[in-house]
Amino acid sequence: MLIKMMSKELIKQIAAGEIVERPASVVKELIENSLDAEAKNININVEKGGKKLIQIYDDGHGIKKEELSLALARYSTSKIYKIEDLDAIKSFGFRGEALYSISSVSRCSLISRTQQQKEGWKIYSEGEQKNIEIQPIAHPYGTTIEILDLFYNVPVRRKFLRTEATEFLHLDEIIKILALSNFYVSISVNHNNKNVRRYRSVNKFNNNEKRIEDVIGSNFIINAEKVNYFNNNYSLKGWIINPLKNIKGKNIQYFYINKRIVRNNILFQCIRKATKNYFYKDINFCYVLYFTIEPQKIDVNIHPKKSEVRFYEPKLVYNFIYEAISKILINKKNFLTNNLFIEKKNNFYNKKKIIKNHILLKNDECKEKKHETNTTQAINKLEISNHDISKKFVNFKKVITIFKKKVALIENNTGLIFLDLQLGLIFLKKVQLIQYSSSLYKKKHLLLFPIKIHINDNEKKSLLIYHKQLQNIGINFKQDLNYITLYQIPKCLRIKHLENLILNLLKYLAQNSYLSLNDLLDWLANASTEKNFYSNTFQVTAFIKNIQLICKNDFKTLFPNFLHEINIEKLF
């Protein structure tokens, strides 16, 4: 096969394809140009989801007449000039590719006027045919760019565009992302000559909640906790919301670095780990967070879309964000409740029914029916605490009842305790893994039929990193090219679906580059624990006996919030 040079037209269309995927990509690049021009008002008009028309006007600095012809040229930019500028990028755009790429796959007109000019000037291009003639035109201060018939000259790309509604949803999401990080800019959106969005600018940081409310909704901002954490090098501001509260939009997750929305696995791992430490399982938090760092300490010149960043000091950033999120969770008591015990005023698996039908009062002083009318008041007075739970648990008397195989009501010498069975079993499994990894005499389980599993390149790399940790836990295997053969596990990991557990473990390791032994133990305990395991009081009693043995050892400080004491005196 002969090696040939690609034609100029092919090179241009490939380059354009890296930046321009759909109308939303065009809108993102053009709005970012407006923001770099310090615009205070941006008006966006689109038709047919952006497939027919995208028109954006801003009141920014504008482009000088003599520079207008350069605006559509490749590698022309007003943001950077020399190599050193790449070390401290402060603008959204800097590569000089966006306008060139967009104009290569559309019919594009660009009109601009600076405050020093008496009139505006216009330039027009149609795909590869660029009309370099500049024409005068009446125009206010600022810039208007109009994109017609996107991908008209690239039928293959146009064919893959979705419906008008779908394309507008993507476009609308991009505008929301940019509106959330630029509070002092008014943004108006018209679709098919109808105004569909109007985000008004705010004056002070204290009013930023208004913009969040406009973009995401009042339900988010009402339930959110404010984040404001900083040190000499970094700052983290924004809002984070208790995932257990019943709000719409469970996938609200926006993380900005220097006002730029980014994707970075380190950040997501950090937030996930911080929240998991308090909820003992993976829960999707809703958040809008703004991380500020010196431009010299990050690299945004990774991909033409500029949506990925690298940190020069990833561990310091990781530790800072982890500490910031952890302090929020510690300071806000409502965040420390688990998924069964949310708030005393929220439903606890229909608390009315539970308290009315199952709570047994001391000495049976009152009959159940007599207290039905006072049930709601009793719920509001219900107080749950986990202070000194280990001592109270050791003085266990009996299991009174089990609710839906998830919660047990138990009695000790001083009163009643709610026991979250699922979290309790996860805790017990983790303790067993800790005991195994720290013990000289390890109870190993050799598999009668070793399990052979195919692994990909990412999983191979992760096994090189975590091989010793897995061996310390008791997971032993032989590796041969694209396969591993699992032949030994710790006794506590003997479960029905062992192969699925190992497959998921390999994926987890491949997706995470900074896991400690404690992270691995948390994941294994959670993933290997059977749901709804306890079906009768005998099983729960056996579980409590195991916990009693643990209480006699050095694991008192590991007690999570799966035990909740009920203050009977304040119930009625």
Give which of 161, 276, 238 is closest to 515, Cα–Cα: 276
Give which of 217, 205, 225 is closest to 325, Cα–Cα: 225
Strands (DSSP E) found in 231-380: 235-241, 253-257, 260-261, 286-292, 298-299, 310-311
Write down the pLDDT at residue 168.
Answer: 96
| CA angle, 92 then 212 then 61, to 5° | 35
H or E, element range at 447: strand 444-454
Cα distances from 270 to residues 316, 470, 560, in angstroms, run: 11, 22, 20
Write down the pLDDT at residue 63.
Answer: 92
Per the listing, tokens 């105004």 go with 195
Q: What CATH code would you report for 217-334? A: 3.30.230.10
Write down the pLDDT at residue 378.
Answer: 32
Write down the pLDDT at residue 62.
Answer: 94
Strands (DSSP E) found in 296-381: 298-299, 310-311
Count of positions (residues) in the chain: 572
Write down the pLDDT at residue 137.
Answer: 95
Write down the pLDDT at residue 403.
Answer: 72
- Read off φ and ψ for residue 253, nearest 5 degrees: -140, 100
CA–CA gap between residue 301 and residue 317 (Å, rounded): 19
CA–CA gap between residue 417 and residue 567 (Å, rounded): 9
Cα distances from 284 to residues 16, 191, 216, 280, 456, in angstroms, run: 35, 33, 17, 12, 27
The parts of the chain modelled with pLDDT lower than 50 are 280, 333-334, 336-390, 392, 440-441, 553-560, 571-572
Residues 6+ apart with CB under 8 A from 332: 225, 242
Strands (DSSP E) found in 306-415: 310-311, 384-385, 396-403, 407-412
The two tokens of residue 459 are 């999983």
CA–CA gap between residue 97 and residue 93 (Å, rounded): 9
Residues 6+ apart with CB under 8 A from 369: none
Write down the pLDDT at residue 283.
Answer: 65
Class of domain 446-489+496-528: alpha beta
Whether the predicted model's global pTM rises above the 0.85 cut: no
The answer to whether 61 touches 44, Cβ cutoff 8 Å, is: no
CA–CA gap between residue 348 and residue 342 (Å, rounded): 7
Q: Letter for the amino acid at 419?
A: L
Residue ranges covered by each domain of the chain: 8-199, 217-334, 446-489+496-528
CA–CA gap between residue 165 and residue 201 (Å, rounded): 27
Q: Letter for the amino acid at 443?
A: K
Q: Is 150 helix (H, G, I), strand (E, B) or coil?
A: coil
CATH ID of 8-199, from 3.30.750.24, 3.30.565.10, 3.30.530.20, 3.90.1150.10: 3.30.565.10
